[in-house]
């Protein structure tokens, strides 16, 4: 069983068993942090941050963690801004 933690800024919330679907993680983040459309990312190490945009990417994140995973919660607008500024 993989345990899930969600982090928004300095606040970290322990969820317990990681849901099987990304949609359920989104619902939980909306409930806990009052965010309309959350997205997520996690760190593999200091230099690698992975953004989760699909169910497949979420499943991959779960598969590379053995006991727990901490997902950083982002507002989707923040992520879109970063994507567009990186292209310029």
Residue 47 has a pLDDT of 84
By C-alpha distance, which of 27, 6, 2 is closest to 74? 6
Q: Is the separation of the CB atoms in 2 and 65 below 8 Å?
A: yes
Identify the three-state secondary structure at position 43: strand
Tell me the pLDDT tens digit for each residue of 23-70: 999 999 999 999 999 999 999 888 889 999 999 999 999 999 889 999
Going from the N-terminus, what domains does the chain have, and what CATH number goes with each?
3-87 (3.10.20.90)
55-63 vs 22-33: helix axis angle to the nearest 10?
Answer: 90
- Reported as a pLDDT band with limits 50, 70 and 90, residue 77 is low
By C-alpha distance, which of 30, 28, 31, 23 is closest to 4? 28
């Amino acid at each position: 069983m993989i345990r899930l933690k969600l982090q928004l800024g300095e606040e970290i919330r322990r969820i317990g068993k990681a849901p099987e679907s990304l949609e359920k993680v989104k619902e939980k983040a909306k409930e806990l942090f009052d965010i309309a459309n959350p997205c997520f990312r996690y760190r593999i190490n200091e230099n690698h941050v992975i953004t989760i945009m699909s169910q497949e990417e979420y499943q991959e994140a779960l598969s590379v963690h053995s006991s727990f995973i901490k997902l950083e919660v982002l507002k989707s607008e923040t992520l879109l801004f970063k994507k567009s500024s990186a292209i310029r």
